[in-house]
Structure 1
């Protein structure tokens, strides 16, 4: 599976707040979720957002939502997914 440039950049931005020593493990878990939700041959920004939401359920979701909003990502299309993963 290939990653488009926008998807790679977004994933890197989402990983920055994670402490450097925990980042490789977090990357692995988030990438696994992203690949699981990817619908095409190329991973897109939309796939990254969905995978990140799935990788951040429950108490972690508030922080994930705040970070996504700070990146100017409109979460309206993901409202049902956010409710599902609470």
Structure 2
């Protein structure tokens, strides 16, 4: 699978708030979810979907706030978020 540059940069930004000692494991889990939803190319959309799927209950609200702070329009993900509740 190939990564779009914007997608890889977004993932780098999303894992920055995770404590350094936990970051590699968290990144692996997030990447696993991203690859489950991606097709041939990993896009920003796949990163957002994978990130939301990898975020557990209480962390999901924090994930949404971080995505919104990155100027990601969350409206395309409303159905996914409803399923995750």
2: CA distance, partners of 1:23 / 1:85: 23
Q: TM-score, normalised by structure 2?
A: 0.97
Hey, what does 1:14 align to over in structure 2? Answer: 14
Deviation at 1:60, TM superposition (A): 1.1
Q: TM-score, normalised by structure 1?
A: 0.96
Hey, what does 1:33 align to over in structure 2? Answer: 33
Which sections of structure 2, spanning at least 5 residues, go unmatched?
none
| Structure 1 consecutive aligned stretches of length 4 or more whose deviation exceeds 6 Å | none
Structure 2 SS opposite 1:73: coil
Equivalenced residue count is 85
Query: In the alignment, does 2:71 pair up with 1:69?
Result: no
2: CA distance, partners of 1:84 / 1:56: 13
Which sections of structure 1, spanning at least 5 residues, go unmatched?
none
RMSD of aligned Cα (Å) = 0.7
